[in-house]
Structure 1
Amino acid sequence: MKKTSTKITAFIVIAILISACNAVKRVPDGKLLLTKNQITVNDKKTKEEGVFNQLYQKPNSTFLGYRLRLNLYNFANLNPDSTYQAKFANNPGKYERKSKWLSAKQVDRLGQSFWYHGIHDFLIKTGEPPVIIDQEKAKKSLLRLKYYYFNNGFFNVDAAFKLDTVGIKKAKIKYDITLGNAFFLDSVKASISTPALDSLYQLNKFNTFIKSGKQYKTDDFEDERNRITTNFRNNGAYYFQPNYVTFNIDTIKKVNKADITLMINNYSFQDRDSTRTEPFKLYKISDVNIYTDYSPSSNSLKITDSSTYKNFNLYSQKKLKYKPKAITDAIFISKGGMYADFRTVLTTRYLNNLKIFNYPTIQYEVDKRDTTAQSLIAKVYLTPRKKYSFGTTLDITHSNIQDFGIGLSVSETIRNVFNGAETLELAARGNVGSSKDLANPKNNFFNVLEYGLDLKLNIPRILMPFNTDRIIPKRMIPSTLATIGFAKQQNIGLDKENFTGGLSYNWTPKINNTARFDLFNTQFVRNLNPRNYFNVYGSSYKALNNISKAYNTNTSYYNNPTDQNLAIERGTRGFTNDVLNGTGSFLKPLENADLEAVKSIEERRLRLTENDFIFATSFTFSKTTKKDLTDNNFYLFKTKIESAGTILSAFAKTTNQKKSINGNYQIFNLEYSEYIKTEFDYIKHWDLSKEKILAFRSFFGIAIPFGNSNYIPFSRSYFSGGSNDNRAWQPYGLGPGSSGGLDDFNEANMKIALSGEFRFKVAGSLKGAVFADAGNIWNVLDNVTDEKSTFTGFKDLKDIALGSGFGLRYDLSFFVIRFDLGFKTYNPANESNRRWFREYNFSNSVLNFGINYPF
């Protein structure tokens, strides 16, 4: 089978290469394949993307200079049905012979199989037909080029094109553009018929996009039109629209200059059979009516219950189910205030963020009670979502712990649980998996189990005993999240129980900015099977066992006298105690290096097997310029600072609590962790046009233990390697420092990571990338003394590892499937003269699978 697939692959590759020699295979006689567009502006070639985007025809796409998609298309049979039928038409006996051992129906269906039909459909769909030069489209391109430069201030443009034959049935198009002198804005005046609008304009005209001395650009006029419209509509001009803003551009008796007159006429409307005009009015809000159980399918509203709260009118067709404050806190349209578009948008965002209503509808109508006709009634229509909703998810997982896993989670969401627009979510999850870890010696396939329960309560306001509106106003859409959870593992490592709980406050200081304050975030990790340590951490066992063979004389520590391997845990515990207490008899005196190694192994065992209690407070802030999912030109900055144990230690000192025998404070007879941690994460994307993107990421994190701790808990430490980190190393496989990743799960308390990636389109939804990842982890200011693992100064930056490679990604719109192949370019674990490119080969490469982009 392997030889057959190799032959098929070789055949396809050879066929594509052969067809590549005939790129004009499907170019009709008398026609020309477009190979290149060349644009010359004032006798200079240009490569500006904006200019080339004006062209109606572009050459076939290339991959590394090769027209891959064109040649795939050329290799396809455009009429596979006819070819299959002709196969039998020319040899009728062949059809009869095949029909004897296959039915006639099966022979006919064979023509629709992958090899006869499907492969050609794939090549046609994936490929790209040749771009045939169309002179009519070239003329349209020329016209668009002239408009493009006209819109940038060049009013006198000469343009022409010609074809330049470059081979048999091949040609390029040369566009020659001659620009006249650019026009600049001279005087700028405004003529606004409505005095109220003129006053608003004068107050904000310093923000204008149209200024004397600037080069003419059509986009500036459009931006100015939108700026004026936004200003007016946010200050009461309900009926104002962008089309009321016009510009008179006068170039008469001017040399490369233009006088600009901005004109805004009065409001024009239809009154019966005639058109009338009158000055624009600035409207105020006379009433805010909220319909809490509106149904779009109903033609009428039958109000049976109502309430008035702080100048808001709430109506319901049934009994009102919401506390008025929970709804009115989300309404930014206020009685007596001016009409403003931004208040409508903010109200819509807040209501939608409550997640108890469908997308809201907000309408305005003129209040007929106002004789001046300058008042509006705001009507907010809310359609409740179902109070209860049930959800399930099924996941197939793979990790460094499980070779294969199946996860199922079920959740129940209860909306408006306390009639204050709160959302309560109850979730249960379970995972069964298969692992070949030494901790799971049984032969049954599913030998690991993990399950958990979570409860989340989201409250759409800051839950505090005092009013926080002045600190965090409601326009920032504040919310409170309370969580509690439990998880348990069986046959996974040390079989942990994990209890979590937290209370956090979230708000949005401004658009695209988010802030989160965790008043407390607690985690209690209980190891149920610490005796299993050396089965899980095989590297530690191997190192201890090798030392034992050089010194141990106690045969009771062995599994058997033949191989003399230490028994777990009788032998490992006994030999370690003998070494550290100096009570054992050994084959020879202990060397200092081996003594330190045993101390290090035991210290790590104690650290990873003891139970952890973390009581932390943190603040997280993020800012991005990303507008939507399609925006590929943005940056994202995120920072976090976390303090753990500080509050508990302050309480313990204030109340004169006693310390443990280790000199540490305790809570519930458990020494808690104390540290301070900070992180900085920065991501930047540059859109290089034509679906080419340059992405960059930098990360720095450090956690410093103090007071009650001299190390960082495993769950709060850093690791390096993996599909979203340095892709040339496996997860937990890099560092710390130049130590070489000797342990099974290498972690430390400081991390530096840098990544760069160039992304490009290969064919259709298939994307490609080349990348470079740099970084490492180190121990700093903790109890680790190994020089190779610790960071003592800038000289240790030489231990930053470098991985590089390439990847393929397939875009399924809703997510991206990603494969990345990483190569160890600079490995700090090697000797100084063997760090560069010594492992740059496929045998030492790492294949990563991931969902979505790494950053």
Structure 2
Amino acid sequence: MRRSFLYMTLLTMILALASCSATKFVPDGSYLLDEVAIKTDNKKIKASDLNVYIRQKTNAKWFSLIKTQLYLYDLSGRDSTRWYNKFLRKIGDKPVIYSEADAERSQEELGKVMQNLGYMRASVNRITDVKKKKLKLTYQIVSGKPYIIRHLNYDVSDNKIATFMQKDSANSLLSEGMLLNINLLDAERQRITNNLGEKGYYKFNKDFITYTADTVRNTYLVDLTLHLLPYRTHSDDAPKEHQQYKINKVSFITDYDVLQSSALSSIEINDSLHYKGYPIYYKDKLYLRPKVMTDNLRIFPGDLYNEREVQRTYTYFGRLSALKYTNIRFFETQVADSSSLNCYVMLTKSRQQSVSFEVEGTNSAGDLGAAASVSFQHRNLFHGSETFMVKFRGAYEAISGLQGYNSDNYTEFGVETSINFPSFLFPFLSSNFKDQIRATTEFGLQYNSQLRPEFSRKVASASWSYKWSNDRRVQHRFDLLDVSFLYMPWISDTFKQKYIDNDQSYILEYNYKDRLIVRMGYTYNYNSAGGALTNNTIAKNSYSIRAGIESAGNLLYGISHLFSLSKNNDGEYAILNIPYAQYLKGDFDYAKSIVIDERNSLAFHIGGGIAFPYGNAKIVPFEKQYFSGGANSVRGWSVRELGPGSFPGDGNFLNQSGDIKFDASIEYRSKLFWILQGASFIDAGNIWTIRNYANQPGGQFRFDKFYKQIAFAYGVGLRFDLDYLVFRIDGGMKALNPVYSSGRDRYPILHPDFGRDFTFHLAVGYPF
């Protein structure tokens, strides 16, 4: 504790000295822009929404508190040729010198923003407060009274477009009584344009829609009129009505090179064929089956041009792993006195085959080892964009501290293979249903063999699943069938005598017997950001929801009852002398990110789950149970070290698992410098068992006790953002330890012991 206090005191002194010299590199006659604030007299206008229009920001603050990078820069000497001065200036930020020109531009921008919101007579004043060489800048906004739309009129001479707009009037963003919000007016122009783009108006754009606003004298009321301008190819042409376009012909070009000219005459074509009336042009050999191309097409001859169907075609072809790029081009043509479009779907082939290698080091409770894997992937196995993958993995680990066993080594070998079809493969389903779902089908096989000093364990599994997403924010997964067979060919006598044959642990006994798991499940994922990431960082407030449910053993249990099968000595039904698991499991997870500014954000997370064994089982298989602690849970504890309930653990990780889980976290994230990001966090959570097991005392969930058994932890971390991945280092400290019901040990936050309460984590990716 004394040493920690000394370090904190030293750090405080350094920051204080740096703060005193914050203006060290500010020239005479200039000022350090120390603070920028926006104040408004209108509660409906949030200052945080206006920050984006400020041209000049202050030096960045770590965690919105300390201008650490400015202080690091100011710690450098004036001799810029010395290496340590160069280093400090490189990782630091030079002082932001107040600019009168930037302040004037910001003032003008804020005025325009207020006018766009309907406050036409708003005023923006700049207030500066200077102390020595530091300047505080405040933008004081007086919004005034807003302008209100009294009457809303439409000047649309094109009868067909007027009819479309009338039918769609319920979705209009404009209404009488609303503020004269220029942003909403522009959004309405774009909405009408998008609507007409789905009804054949290929050449329509929002510039054909204008407004006039007449103010009523001595009032803040406005009469607004929306005008539809006639179509003109050139400004001096005679006006005419906007034309609807039909699709005339659709052709495929399968060997388009995006680096070459986009002119059709420059594309190399050696051969062609016709499939269901669609010309398909290719260079040497057709690498995609024609049916795959037409099945993913949403643009059909004879239909009106529809921008939404064009985008759906892009989406569908983007799902095909055999393709790298898709480009859809339209050319005007005249057919029987009507305007038509010839459509060309231009496809660029991706790399069809690849091989990858992975090498990793492992550390299991201090036991070091290594693992390696090699995988092969083919992205167009049957010329239908089917993705085939096969992966081999091997691992070795030297195990220490074991006594009474013949070997000290752990070896593992595994192989997995899968094939993904870009279509919904299931009999007796209509084509319309398959077109609506647009699911991909995946079949998989896995085999894993583990040889430990204590036992030999083999797992074989097969799966059949579907994935689909009709919205970029939503993803669905349905596991129609997942069969796993756990086989224990050998268990050492020492392990049997110590853990299994002494009747002390039903959990151990259950999980070290041959077992069959036949399950099905559904998972729903929603992300409001829709993948809108900037350098792994969400650029705006967003949230995500993940929910899943799965069940196992119900079909086998029904068959067992139907045929009156006999039970084994443990009271379980068995198929081919292999007992099967039966349970129901549900999970829910919610995460939200709130962006404070371009460098700081706040993230929340709460999640939970329950797995309930019934029927043919009293225990949920270990692979389906929950554990707590670790880099993605309560970070004051190591992985599988917390719970269940107040159970302190007995050195066997199998006993530190449960049927119920709760996790919650709040994390403040701040960009530091270079690729470094910092975080401070508070975690809470634990696991519990549904039943009371003798080898897990205090682990059962009880309504009158569970809230007292929720563990708390706090800590800080570093993230190395490499764009393609985030490498994370977290240090967590216990704050409340549920193992103890009272006393000093229950509240380590008040009586911290670094050696006892600190846990270090290395991980890839954010915790949530």
Normalising by structure 1, we get a TM-score of: 0.81
Say if 1:492 and 1:481 are closer, same or farther in 2 by CA, change over 3 A: farther
The answer to whether the 8 A contact 1:357-1:385 is kept is yes
Evaluate the alpha carbon distance shift between residue 265 and residue 724 of structure 1 in structure 2; reply closer, same or farther with a 3 A threshold. Answer: same
What is the CA–CA distance in structure 2 between the aligned matches of 1:23 and 1:14, rounded to whole Å? Answer: 14
Instruction: Give the equivalent residue in structure 2 for 1:770.
Output: 680
Matched residue SS, 2:466: strand
Q: Which residue of 2 aligns with 1:832?
A: 742
Change (3 A) 1:70 1:785: closer
For 1:465, the equivalent position in structure 2 comes to 427
Contact 2:362 2:370 in 1 (8 A): no
Distance of aligned partners of 1:610 and 1:233 in 2 relative to their CA distance in 1, 3 Å threshold: same
Match of 1:841 among 737, 744, 753: 753
Q: Are the aligned partners of 2:354 and 2:378 in contact in 1 as well (CA < 8 Å)?
A: no
Which of residues 381, 390, 393 is equivalent to 1:426? 390
Cα gap change, 1:783/1:652 in structure 2, threshold over 3 Å: closer, same or farther? Answer: farther
Residues 492 and 208 of structure 1, relative CA distance in 2, 3 Å threshold: farther
Does the 8 A contact of 1:416 with 1:423 survive in 2?
A: yes
SS in 2 for 1:599: coil
| Matching residue's letter, 2:135 | A
Tell me how far apart the structure 2 counterparts of residues 731 and 371 of structure 1 sit (CA, whole Å): 72
Determine if contact 1:149/1:157 at 8 Å carries over to the other structure: yes
Summarize deviations over 1:193-228 as a string: whole Å, max 9, x none: 432222211111221222211112221122112101
Matched, 1:325 2:325: no
The alpha carbon displacement at 1:767 in A equals: 2.5
- Tell me the distance in 2 between the aligned counterparts of 1:385 and 1:39: 51
Which of 779, 793, 797 is the aligned partner of 2:703? 793
Structure 2 residue aligned with 1:818, among 694, 704, 728?
A: 728
Distance 1:45 1:219 in 2: 16
Q: Which residue of 1 aligns with 2:80?
A: 80
C-alpha RMSD of the superposition: 3.0
Q: How big is each residue's C-alpha offset from its partner over 1:747-797, in whole Å with a ceiling of 9 and x where there is no partner?
A: 112212222222233445432222222211111147668551112435333
Aligned pair count reads 747
Deviation at 1:440, TM superposition (A): 11
Evaluate the alpha carbon distance shift between residue 511 and residue 125 of structure 1 in structure 2; reply closer, same or farther with a 3 A threshold.
same
| Separation in 2, partners of 1:454, 1:125 | 47
Encode CA deviations 1:363-382: one digit per residue, 9 max, x unaligned.
112233x1223222221112
Give matches, 1:470-549, under 5 Å.
Answer: 470-471=432-433, 473-491=434-452, 494-531=455-492
Is 1:171 the counterpart of 2:81? The answer is: no
Percent identical? 28
Q: Equivalent residue for 1:802?
A: 712
Among residues 241, 244, 256, which one is paired with 2:208 in the alignment? 244
CA distance in 1, matches of 2:697, 2:624: 22
Change (3 A) 1:187 1:780: same
Is 2:380 the counterpart of 1:416?
Answer: yes
CA deviation vs aligned residue, 1:578-625 (integer Å, no higher than 9, x gap)? xxxxxxxxxxxxxxxxxxxx5333x24322322222111111122221
Helix, strand or coil at the partner of 1:367: strand
- The answer to whether the 8 Å contact 1:400/1:731 transfers is no
Quick check: 2:582–2:615 contact (8 Å CA) kept in 1?
yes
* Counterpart amino acid of residue 617 in structure 1: M
Letter of the structure 2 residue corresponding to residue 836 of structure 1:
Y
8 Å Cα contact 1:439-1:492 kept in structure 2: no
Q: 1:246 to 1:784 in 2, by over 3 A?
A: farther
Residues 256 and 267, structure 2, Cα contact 8 Å, conserved in 1: no
User: What code does the residue aligned with 2:112 have?
Assistant: Y
**TM-fit CA distance, 1:304:** 2.5
Instruction: Describe how 1:171-320 pairs up with structure 2 within 5 A.
Output: 171-251=135-215, 253=217, 255-270=219-234, 275-296=237-258, 297=260, 299-302=266-269, 304-309=271-276, 312-320=278-286
Question: Given residue 775 of structure 1, which amino acid in structure 2 is its aligned partner?
Answer: G
Partner of 1:54: 53
Q: Deviations over 1:157-201 (max 9, x none)?
A: 3343343222x2222234343333211122112222432222211
Query: Structure 1 residues 230-239 or 767-776, which shifts more?
Result: 767-776
Amino acid at match of 2:267: S
Partner of residue 697 from structure 1, selected from 596, 605, 623 = 605
Report how far residue 78 of structure 1 moved. 5.3
* Of 251-260 and 769-778, the range deviating more from structure 2: 251-260
Q: Which of 321, 333, 348 does residue 383 from structure 1 map onto?
A: 348
In the alignment, does 2:767 pair up with 1:854? yes
SS at match of 2:609: strand
Q: How far, CA to CA, are the matches of 1:358 and 1:439 in structure 2?
A: 56
AA matched with 1:127: G
* Number of the residue aligned with 1:160: 125
Q: Which residue of 2 aligns with 1:455?
A: 417
Amino acid paired to 1:482: F
State the AA in 2 paired with 1:28.
P
Q: 1:726 to 1:285 in 2, by over 3 A?
A: same
Moved more, 840-849 or 499-508: 840-849
Q: In 2, are the aligned partners of 1:305 and 1:318 still within 8 Å (CA)?
A: no
Aligned counterparts of 2:302 and 2:36: Cα–Cα separation in 1: 61
SS at 2:413's partner residue? Answer: strand
Give the counterpart letter for 1:340 in structure 2.
N
Q: Secondary structure at the match of 1:396?
A: strand
CA deviations on 1:520-564 (whole Å, 9 max, x unpaired) are 1112223354227xxxxxxxxxxxxxxxxxxxxxxxxxxxxxxxx
Q: In structure 2, what is the equivalent of residue 580 of structure 1?
A: none
Separation (CA, whole Å) in 2 of partners of 1:382 and 1:515: 27
How much does 1:441 deviate? Answer: 8.5
Q: Which stretch shows the higher mean deviation, 817-826 or 230-239?
A: 817-826
Q: Write the distance in 2 (CA, Å) between the matches of 1:521 and 1:75.
A: 61
Question: Residue 222 of structure 2 aligns to which amino acid in structure 1?
Answer: A
Amino acid at match of 1:365: F
Tell me, in whole angstroms, the C-alpha distance in 2 between the residues paired with 1:809 and 1:381. 41
1:303, 1:317 within 8 Å by CA — same for their partners in 2? yes
- The one of 599, 606, 612 equivalent to 2:509 is 606
Aligned mate of 1:645, from 524, 528, 553? 553
Q: What runs of 5+ residues in structure 1 fail to find an aligned partner?
A: 1-6, 82-115, 533-567, 578-597
Secondary structure of 1:790's partner?
coil
| Paired letter, 2:308 | F
Q: Any idea what SS the aligned residue of 2:53 has?
A: coil
1:818: Cα distance to partner?
A: 1.8
Post-superposition Cα deviations, 1:800-834, rounded to whole Å, max 9, x if no partner, equal: 21222222223222222222222221211113345
- Contact map agreement 1:732 1:744 (CA 8 A) in 2: no
Shift of 1:50: 2.5
Contact 2:325 2:349 in 1 (8 A): no
When residues 233 and 405 of structure 1 are mapped into structure 2, their CA distance, relative to the original with a 3 A threshold, is farther
Alpha-carbon distance in 2 for matches of 1:570, 1:530: 7
1:594 maps to what in 2? Answer: none
Q: How many angstroms apart in 2 are the aligned matches of 1:781 and 1:443?
A: 36
The answer to whether the 8 A contact 1:704-1:782 is kept is no
Conserved 8 A contact 1:457-1:482: yes
Q: Give me the whole-angstrom Cα distance separating, in 2, the residues matched to 1:267 and 1:44.
A: 44
Change (3 A) 1:487 1:179: same
Answer whether contact 2:507 2:619 (CA < 8 A) is retained.
no
**47 and 763 in structure 1: CA distance in 2 versus 1, 3 angstrom threshold:** farther
Q: Does 1:363 align with 2:329?
A: yes
Higher relative strand content: 2
Q: Distance between the aligned counterparts of 2:239 and 2:363, measured in 1?
A: 70
Per the alignment, residue 758 of structure 1 pairs with: 668
Structure 1 position 37, deviation (Å): 2.6
Q: CA deviation at 1:289?
A: 1.7
Task: Give, in whole Å, the separation in 2 of the partners of 1:443 and 1:672.
Answer: 31
Q: Which runs of 5+ in 2 are unaligned?
A: 1-5
The alignment's TM-score, normalised by the length of structure 2, stands at 0.90
2:89 to 120, 124, 130: 124
Q: CA deviation at 1:695?
A: 1.6
